Structures are given as C-alpha cells and as structure tokens.
C-alpha cells in the first residue's frame, strides 16, 4: 500500500482531485502516522480523529458530486496552538489559557478550510510563543525528530517537527522574530515568513494585539518542498475583512533580473564554518540555475533593526507580559522577559514614537537595497541548531542564543518576507539558509528557494530518533 503521508501536498491534492486517492484514505494514513511517531516528539498536542475523518469524508462527498473542493483538496495540515480554531483551546502553550476555547476561526484557519485542507491537529509552541525552543507547562516538551539533543526551534517548533516527521504535508506557523524560519531551519524543512499584511490574521477569542505585533507578526507555512509553500501561501493569503492590515497584493510581481546578493556576515555577525559552507553551497546552486550572485560585505542595518524589533515586540505591555509569565511560572518565558528587561522596560511614548519613526527610515533603506537585488542570501542563524534548552543554561548562553539569531529577529521590523531553505545536514543536524526579498515579493524568495532546492535532494519525512 502506498504511504500517502510521504507525498507532497501538491501531489496529494492532485491525486485526490483526480480521485486516484480518497481524502479518507489520506486522512486515515495521516492519523496512523501521527499516532506512530508523535509519542516520540510531542509535536501535535491536540487532535480529534473522528473530526479529521469527517472533514475527509466531506471532501470525498463533494468530489463525488462534481464540486470544486479547493486547491488543498484533502491535504492534511496542522495548525499552531496560538491561533483560533473553532472548538479547540487557543492555549498559546500556557495553562492560563487552557480553557480559552475558540468559538470561531482565525482567518488563516478559515482560508485553509475553504481551500479544502483537512485540519489534522494542533501543533505545540513554547509558553506565550516567546522562544526558539519548544516546551511549556501545559503540553510539555517537543523534540527534534532528527536529534533529540538539539532544539526543534520555536516558537513554531511543533509545526516544524510535525511536517519533518510526516505528520501532515503542510504546517501552519507564526513568525514575529524567526518563529517560522528557525524551526524550519532546525528541523530540516522549508519555512516562509510572508510580508506583513499578506495573510489575514485575527483571533476572535482574544483582544486585539498591541501595535508591535500588529505590524510585525505573521502567519505562514512550513513544508518539505518549495512548491508546497507556494500552494499553501496561495491558500492562506485569501482576503478576510476582519484584518485591517490585510493587503490584496498579487502573489506574482513583475519579472526581475535574477540578481542575488550574498552576505555572509551582516553587521559583522560571527558565523561558524558550517554556516559559511551552507551559504556558499546555496550561492553556487543559484549560480548554476542562472542567477547572478554578488558577494557583499554588509547590508542595510540589521543589528539595529533586531534591537528595535525586540523593543517593539516586548516593550508595549512589558509589565503585563511579565506579570502573566510570573503567574504561569514558565521558566522559558521568564528567561526571555528577564533577559530582555533592559531593552523592553521603561520605554515611554516618546521613545516608542522614535522606534516607529526609525522603522520607516530602515524600511526605506531596505526597499532601496532590494530594488537593486531581487533577493538577499544570508544566514538564518550564526550557528547550527542549538543544544536543546540552551537559553535556560545560564546568562552567557542566553546572550549567545539572542546574538546568533540577529538575522531572523531583524527582518520583521521592516515587514519583509523571508524564506528559510533547508540545504542539507551536518551529521544528523540540519542546516539551511535565509532568503529575503522586497515587500509582497514572496514569489522572488520562492523562485530563488526552488533553485537552491533543485541543487540538492528532495526532503523526505524522517523517522524520529528515539
């Protein structure tokens, strides 16, 4: 019998639409895969088999009636526990929200359903989605399926671990400081952070987010192929009037010259030899695919943008965030907030205004830079995926983590799209690179990502290491 959980979303949707496979068969195999491997990694923390099968049966019935079931016809997809999915708790990994059961869907969940996805389960995240490691007091710890000694990433660590292990063909994640890109990098899959406003967002179960999150946080897909990211983005990016920041920009922009900038050490970032090797391999693959790659010494400000993004993310409501983390008692959330206290605490209205003003200046500089280059190739992180829970070891380890992640943290400050592309492994440890393009030019990231992907092998689901 064909193992349908190994297939790409693109192939699954085609086979189900042609009725060469039934959505029910695919759902049954997805559930069987989940129940086989999830106990080893704890990537999915809530799922309801009867509801999964009912969704699949509805797809098959619609196909039998000759109806269009959508671009994701029957594809199993996981959703992260920080977005509303009707009937499930929007826990965000905290016991304080364990009973916050959504009565309506977040727009991204509605869009996935309208596109014909079968929602397979809810993926784990660190408490409050604060960290690049995934554990919490409510749902427990998520492991990397490649190697339990390294982080699965965060905050979409459950999403990345699930799709890497063949639990669903696509995973939904969110990203305010690398939370799609880093888990994808750590788990050896691809992850796309769309432009702010590309994918509509709103949690009916909660008050509106503070302004920093409104203008920097996004939902986006993780998958084992770039083609699946493109398909998932199209599904996720459908309009929804509930999001005032939504922009109905075309998914394909004007043709650009295939010109890429390669920056190994933006703002003097100290990278390891393995990271430099991955970047040079990716650049070579681009060159072989007809891209002109120009190595540059630095980019418009990244380190400054990362510091300002941390302030924008954490300063607005810092005292309330800290009080909630203290009530929760989660050590990872407390480490994040205590470790960034000097940046986040005590910023007044004038200081906050200066941050937003500087955001306009830096965004302009980046837009002008990305007028010259279709994409920028740079590190996801300065290091290979960290030892798991490294940020809790001591203060030097905490600072090491945050310094290494600078290229991820900075990009959301300008609202730019970015793509983490898996390029291979160093031993058992995944490695990859990051691509950045101008606003609403995810298509350029994906085009360059496909060229890099084509130069390596296809990503197959991994059996988790016990």
User: Distance of alpha carbon 156 from its chain centroid, rounded?
Assistant: 6
Residues in the chain: 466
Q: Do the beta carbons of residue 278 and residue 456 sit within 8 Å?
A: no
Annotation says 155 is catalytic = yes
Q: Report CA-CA distances (Å) from 190 to 43, 193, 241, 432.
A: 17, 10, 29, 9
- Strands 190-193 and 418-426: what pairing? antiparallel
Write down the catalytic residue from 129, 135, 179, 225: 179
Annotation says 353 is catalytic = no
Strand partners, 293: 260
Write down the catalytic residue from 22, 129, 155, 225: 155
User: Measured between alpha carbons, how far is 57 from 54 in angstroms, rounded to an integer?
Assistant: 5
Annotation says 354 is catalytic = no
Q: Do the beta carbons of residue 7 and residue 169 sit within 8 Å?
A: yes
Strand partners, 119: 77
Element (H, E) at 314: helix 303-314
CA proximity to 209, closest of 82, 111, 335, 332 = 82
CA proximity to 236, closest of 421, 52, 72, 17 = 72
Write down the catalytic residue from 8, 80, 91, 143: 80
Give the residue numbers annotated as catalytic, written as ranges.
80, 155, 179
């Amino acid at each position: 019998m064909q193992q349908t959980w190994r297939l790409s979303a693109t192939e699954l949707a085609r086979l189900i639409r042609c009725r060469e496979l039934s959505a029910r068969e695919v759902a049954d195999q997805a559930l069987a895969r989940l129940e086989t491997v999830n106990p080893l990694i704890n990537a999915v923390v809530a799922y309801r088999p009867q509801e999964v099968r009912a969704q699949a049966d509805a797809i098959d019935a619609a196909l039998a009636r000759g109806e269009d079931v959508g671009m994701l016809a029957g594809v199993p997809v996981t959703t992260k526990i920080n977005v509303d999915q009707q009937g499930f708790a929007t826990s965000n990994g905290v016991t304080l929200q364990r009973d916050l059961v959504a009565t309506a869907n977040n727009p991204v969940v509605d869009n996935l359903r309208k596109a014909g996805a079968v929602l397979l389960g809810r993926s784990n995240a660190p408490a409050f989605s604060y960290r690049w490691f995934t554990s919490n007091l409510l749902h427990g710890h998520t492991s990397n399926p490649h190697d339990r000694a390294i982080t699965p990433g965060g905050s979409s660590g459950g999403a990345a671990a699930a799709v890497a292990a063949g639990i669903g063909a696509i995973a939904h994640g969110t990203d305010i400081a690398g939370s799609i890109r880093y888990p994808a990098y750590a788990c050896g899959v691809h992850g796309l952070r769309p432009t702010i406003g590309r994918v509509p967002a709103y949690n009916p179960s909660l008050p509106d987010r503070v302004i920093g999150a409104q203008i920097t946080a996004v939902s986006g897909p993780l998958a084992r192929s770039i083609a699946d990211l493109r398909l998932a983005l199209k599904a996720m990016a459908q309009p929804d009037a509930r999001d005032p920041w939504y922009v109905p920009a075309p998914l394909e922009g004007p043709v650009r010259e295939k010109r890429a900038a390669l920056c190994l050490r933006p703002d003097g970032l100290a990278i390891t030899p393995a990271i430099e090797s991955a970047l040079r391999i990716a650049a070579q693959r681009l060159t072989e695919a007809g891209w002109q790659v120009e190595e540059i010494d630095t980019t418009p400000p990244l380190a400054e943008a990362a510091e300002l993004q941390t302030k924008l993310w954490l300063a607005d409501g810092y005292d309330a965030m800290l009080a909630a983390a203290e009530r929760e008692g989660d050590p990872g959330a407390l480490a994040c907030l205590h470790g960034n206290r000097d940046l986040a605490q005590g910023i007044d209205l004038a200081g906050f205004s200066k941050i937003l003003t500087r955001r306009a200046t830096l965004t302009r500089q980046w837009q002008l830079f990305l007028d010259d280059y279709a994409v920028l190739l740079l590190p996801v992180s300065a290091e290979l995926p960290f030892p798991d829970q490294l940020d809790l070891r001591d203060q030097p380890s905490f600072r090491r983590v945050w310094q290494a992640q600078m290229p991820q943290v900075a990009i959301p400050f300008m609202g730019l799209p970015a793509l983490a592309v898996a390029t291979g492994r160093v031993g058992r440890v995944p490695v990859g690179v990051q691509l950045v393009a101008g606003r609403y030019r995810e298509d350029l990231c994906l085009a360059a990502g496909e060229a890099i992907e084509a130069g390596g092998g296809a990503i197959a689901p991994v059996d988790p290491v016990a």
